[in-house]
Amino acid sequence: MKILRREFLFTLAASPLVAAAPKTTVSIQGDRFFINGRPTYEGRSYQGMKIEGLLMNSRMVQGIYDDLNAETRDRWKYPDTGKWDAERNTREFIAAMPEWRKHGLLAVTLNLQGGSPQGYSQAQPWHNSAFNADGTLRADYFSRLERILNRADQLGIVVILGYFYFGQDQRLKDEAAVKAAVVNATNWLLKKGWRNLLIEVNNECNIKAYDHEMLKPGRVDELIHLVKTTTHQGRRFLVGTSYGGGAIPTTNVVKASDFLLLHGNGVKDPHRIAEMVAITRRDPAYRPMPILFNEDDHFDFDQPANNMLKAVSAYASWGYFDPG
């Protein structure tokens, strides 16, 4: 009975009746982003380069992190308490958000299966997934997510929300569960009423570590279409997926997506960043749409040529990633 009651309460919490009117709406016109009907960074440029319409962002995928593996959970314990606390992690994330926005950050990337808490990892034995094995939603994760999304909406921050991560997709038992997870998460988000979301189906779809074929480049467009066709009161989310560092989106993904996500990890020559954008725009399925880097672990901001500046010079948004 306790489980049924908890699921019933979670269903009530998902009702659109409890959601406040959204304050932040992200939209796309051609290759530009708009927030509340106005182009981002309106009228602004940097070193002679246009930034109006870009969406500068940061990879913050661990905002709702937890570890359900008792054998690895203590790796993340707080020094002052000796315990890991997922709720504290989210509280501290939310407390930092106003400062990020104060400095001009307009978007953050979250992921329902996080990312490596070590930055880069070979084995990933921890269990961090907002989905149960059958694709149903874990109430504790979505409660934490709701608080972050509400605060982002209040602050005028866009959230690029990923659904799956290659270190955790095996937590879904089969393709039916993957599809169920997509539909369940998308419906929950739509019914809550948020309009400040961009959906990233999965992080770096071309990484070989993915277990489910439909999360790989050849078939991930099926899930992009699934998000696009999941609607509520005639509304849907803008959606795409990302590729690993240096990789170029495949034509099927370009054709299906509303925006294109690239990563700069491992790209040591900044000129390659601009080249990636140019190659992407030459794809036969490309039409005017935003191109974003939403993960790049390069920090040479004091150099005349760096990954961020080269992205902006090619009129592509750029996203910071600190692997720790």
Residue 160, pLDDT > 60, answer yes
pLDDT grade, residue 4 (50/70/90)? very low
CA dist 89 and 284 (Å) reads 43
State the average pLDDT over residues 193-211: 98
Mean pLDDT value across residues 308-324:
96
User: Within its chain, how far is the Cα of 275 from the centroid?
Assistant: 24
Q: How confident is the model at residue 265 (pLDDT cuts 50, 70, 90)?
A: very high
Using one digit for the tens of pLDDT, what is the confidence trace for 67-107?
999 999 999 999 999 999 999 999 999 999 999 999 999 99
pLDDT bin (cut points 50, 70, 90) of residue 19 is: low
Which ranges of 41-138 does DSSP label H, i.e. alpha helix?
Answer: 86-102
- 324 pLDDT band, cuts 50/70/90, is confident
Instruction: Please state whether the predicted TM-score (pTM) of the whole model is above 0.75.
Output: yes
Going 33 to 35 to 37 to 38, the CA torsion angle's sign is: negative
Q: Write down all domains in the chain, each with its CATH number in brackets.
A: 2-320 (3.20.20)
Q: What is the mean pLDDT of the segment spanning 132-159? A: 99
pLDDT value of position 122: 82
Overall average pLDDT of the 117-137 stretch: 94
Confidence of residue 123 (pLDDT cuts 50, 70, 90): confident
In whole angstroms, give the CA distance from residue 178 to residue 171.
10
Lowest mean pLDDT among 48-57, 111-120, 199-208: 111-120
- Apex 128 CA angle, 125 and 130, nearest 5: 150
> Tokens 């925006």, residue?
259
Cα gap 275→141, rounded to integer Å: 38
Angle at CA of residue 285, ends 258 and 215, nearest 5°: 60
